[in-house]
Amino acid sequence: MGKKTGKWIAAAVIISANIIVWLLPSDVRYLLAQQRDILLGRYSLEHVSLGLFLLPASILALYVNFSNKQNEKKRWFAVIALTISLSLSIMMVDIFLRVLGQKQYIGNSSLYHRTPGTMSHSIIKDTPETSSVYPTTAPGYPDIEYTLTVDKRGFRNKTDLDKYDVVVLGDSFAEGSHVSDEHVWPVLLAQKTGYTVYNLAMSGGYPDSYLQTLRTFGLGLSPKIVICLLYEGNDFRDSNFRQKTGIAEILNSCIRTSPIRRACRNMLVRYLSPLNSSRLKSMVANPTSPDDSEAASEISAAANSPLSFLPVAVPDGNDAKYYTFKVKKLLAHFETQEKFIGSYGCKKTFEAICEMKKLCSQKDIRLIVAYAPDEPHILLPLIKHKITPQQLYAFMSIRAKNLPVPENLMDLTLSQLNIQESEIEKFCRQQSIEFVSLTQALRQSVAAGGQAYFTYDQHWTPIGHQVVAELLSGCIKNNTDKNSR
């Protein structure tokens, strides 16, 4: 094979790679079910980013590929020099923007907090996360004027004491995502019990970070009670506990938090999401549209599964509120008891709880583990009569393989909803740790027409925080009264 032929083959491979990237669509069904951004009506954000990165890289590769013997070294030098200069320029701008902007978090993945002494204001709107819409856009929770106050230690508190009666550990469900300072359940708990309550929760936390936060900040506050909120939606994931100290992890973290990356992402979503979205919306509303049979077939399953029963109304009648949930949240429950207790995430969670118990026992602190369910756990028993076996099967099969026949799927899924909670409760009882389930109280509130969760977000509304505060205050008071007799 001659050198010239090799160059043309290399060029054909480079060009083909670019064509293939744009010819192959993303899994639109999954993007819809997860309410992720869909760009150009057929691609994920990551897909478009790959294509846009590959294009200039391919141009430079072709530029070097078609160089002759005399100028090959010059072209290589030019490409390398351009790459280095662009990289350095991007790094300098990125560093400048990081310094110029306010740093939101301080610390590492297992121990971090917000920038101390800050306050932010916003208006929370309960609307679909992306430009891709459900067939019917149901009304969400009313807008919330939002204030987040960060104290001198870097946590969400408006009081400043040296000692507290109660310390709260947890993630965004305890810190209070999407609700204002006065709505958060630790604040309401203080009002209902008369105790001083300090909120050490941090959005994005997980059991190991709760443990480190307790060690570093909580024990020094001399609490009588420590409440650790476990959220089943993500606290038991294996990925939470992977070591994140290597160069690759540090680099990945820098890229994820880059202000340049964030600006590019926002620009792509803003300008490319609307393009071709009309075809996407028309197919969602009418999946049998003949305009594009292949694309219509691709999206038909999605339109007949998540988009046909979501948003779902609970309860029936005039008091109905609307809810949505993502396919990954439901599939997280679709695992056996053996698989859950054998998972790395579950084992590490048990270790963290045991260490919390040990630390609390040494200082005669009462430890309470409160279990927070996700939306599918709450909703599925309430909406099972509204979902056909085929709808549930189509919804779950977007991501799951080898599902049982549709007629058996609902009963099997319902039977597995409580596995994670039951195992955590059993473990706590074995370790003589107080366990409080929030599941029944939240489900009763939703069934009665109280909108405990946002329509288009997984977190609790102010109503949900009230339910949690009421239940936990009753548990604290009842146990305190028993101990005082």
The pLDDT of residue 133 is above 70 = no
Which of 88, 106, 124 is where one domain is finished?
106
Q: Are residues 98 and 160 in the same domain?
A: no
The pLDDT of residue 135 is above 70 = no
Is residue 287 within 8 Å of residue 300, measured between CB atoms? yes
- Is 273 within the bounds of a domain? no
pLDDT (0 to 100) of residue 282? 55
pLDDT (0 to 100) of residue 484? 42
The answer for residues whose C-beta is within 8 angstroms of residue 86's C-beta and 6 or more apart is none
Q: Are residues 339 and 453 in the same domain?
A: yes
SS (H, E, C) 97-126: HHHHCCCCEEEECCEEEECCCCEEEEEECC
Distance, CA of 380 to CA of 310 (rounded, Å): 12
Q: Are residues 203 and 351 in the same domain?
A: yes
Q: Which residues of 238-259 are buried (b: 16+ CB within 10 A; e: fewer)?
A: eebbeeeeeeeeeeeeeeeebe
Q: Are residues 59 and 127 in the same domain?
A: no
More confident residue, 263 or 427: 427
Is residue 163 within 8 Å of residue 222, measured between CB atoms? yes
The pLDDT of residue 378 is above 70 = yes
- Is 254 within the bounds of a domain? no
pLDDT (0 to 100) of residue 178? 94
pLDDT (0 to 100) of residue 274? 78
Largest CA distance in the chain: 95
The pLDDT of residue 262 is above 90 = no
Give residue-wise pLDDT tens across range 99-117.
776 667 787 767 888 899 9
- Residue 474, domain CATH: 3.40.50.1110
- Is 280 within the bounds of a domain? no
Q: Are residues 102 and 223 in the same domain?
A: no
For 145-158, what is the mean pLDDT?
Answer: 94
The pLDDT of residue 242 is above 50 = yes
The pLDDT of residue 177 is above 90 = yes
- Where residue 468 falls among pLDDT bands split at 50, 70, 90? very high
pLDDT (0 to 100) of residue 253? 66
Q: Are residues 343 and 444 in the same domain?
A: yes
Q: Are residues 83 and 120 in the same domain?
A: no
Q: Are residues 126 and 73 in the same domain?
A: no
- Where residue 483 falls among pLDDT bands split at 50, 70, 90? very low
For 16-38, what is the mean pLDDT?
Answer: 85
pTM of the complete model: 0.83
- Where residue 313 falls among pLDDT bands split at 50, 70, 90? very high
- Is 90 within the bounds of a domain? yes
Q: Are residues 133 and 10 in the same domain?
A: no
- Is 389 within the bounds of a domain? yes
Which of 106, 123, 150 is where one domain is finished?
106
The pLDDT of residue 12 is above 80 = yes
- Is 286 within the bounds of a domain? no
For 232-252, what is the mean pLDDT?
Answer: 74
Residue 10: which domain range? 3-106
- Is 277 within the bounds of a domain? no
Q: Are residues 140 and 238 in the same domain?
A: yes
- Where residue 34 falls among pLDDT bands split at 50, 70, 90? confident
The pLDDT of residue 400 is above 90 = no
Q: Are residues 123 and 101 in the same domain?
A: no
pLDDT (0 to 100) of residue 287? 43
- Is 276 within the bounds of a domain? no
Tokens linked to 391:
């709808």
Looking at the structure of the chain, the number of domains it has is 2
Which of 106, 130, 158 is where one domain is finished?
106
For 329-341, what is the mean pLDDT?
Answer: 91
- Where residue 478 falls among pLDDT bands split at 50, 70, 90? confident
More confident residue, 484 or 479: 479
Q: Are residues 214 and 346 in the same domain?
A: yes
More confident residue, 416 or 304: 416
